[in-house]
Structure 1
C-alpha cells in the first residue's frame, strides 16, 4: 500500500472551532471505518496556545491514489468546511 501524510488546516473564521466540534463525531466515524479497512495508521489534532483544535494530521495508506482521492472527497472535514486546505505527501512509515 502507498502511505500518505495528510495535513488539514482548519478555517480561521469565528465559527471554525464550533463547526469542527459539530462535525467531529462524523469525522471520527470515518476514521473508525478507515481503521477497519486497514487504511488508518495514526492521527492527531493540532492545538493552538489555548488548547483548541486548529488542524489535523493523519497517516493513512491506500492501494492507489484514486482511493486516496475518493476518501478525501468524502471526508467530512472537507465536505463540511472544517479544513480550509489539505496537504498530502507520500511517506514511508518506519517499521521498528
Structure 2
C-alpha cells in the first residue's frame, strides 16, 4: 500500500510540473491599438510602407502570431486612416513589443504610439 501511495504522489507531482512548464510557454492573446503620426506626410509614409507591412502581416498570420488586423478610421464616411487594431498571439507582451518594433509602419514613422492589452477572443472571425 505504501508503494502505491508513493507512486500516486509521484504521479501527481509529475503532472503538476508538466502543467506548470506547459502554461509558462502558453501563447496568450493581445489586442494592440495603434495611433498614427498626425503630420501632413503621415498618409504618404503609410502608403510607401504599406506593401512591405502587408507582406509581413501575412507572414505573421501564416506563422500564427497575428490573428487579425486592420486600419482604424476617423469615420466611415471620411475614411481617413488614423491607426490600426491588431490581435496577436504570443508568449508575452514583450514578444508583441518586439514584433511591433520590427514592423515597417514603425520603421517608416507611420505608427507613433500604441497600447497593448491582454485579450481573449470570445468569438472568432468566420471564414468567408
- TM-score normalised to structure 1 length: 0.89
Select 1:54's aligned residue among 82, 92, 101. Answer: 82
Matches within 5 A, 1:1-96: 1-49=27-75, 50-95=78-123
- The structure with the largest alpha-carbon Rg is 2
* Corresponding residue SS for 2:38: coil
Stretches (4+) displaced over 3 A: none
Structure 1 or 2: more helix by fraction: 2
Cα RMSD (Å):
1.5
**Larger CA deviation: 82-91 vs 56-65:** 56-65
* Higher RCO (CA-CA < 8 Å; seq separation 6+): 1
Structure 1 or 2: more strand by fraction: 1
* Corresponding residue SS for 1:5: strand
- TM-score normalised to structure 2 length: 0.69
State the number of aligned residues.
96
Unpaired segments of 5 or more residues in structure 1?
A: none
Unpaired segments of 5 or more residues in structure 2?
A: 1-26
Q: Give yes or no for contact 2:30–2:117 (8 Å, CA) kept in 1.
A: yes
Q: Tell me how far 1:95 sits from its aligned partner.
A: 4.7
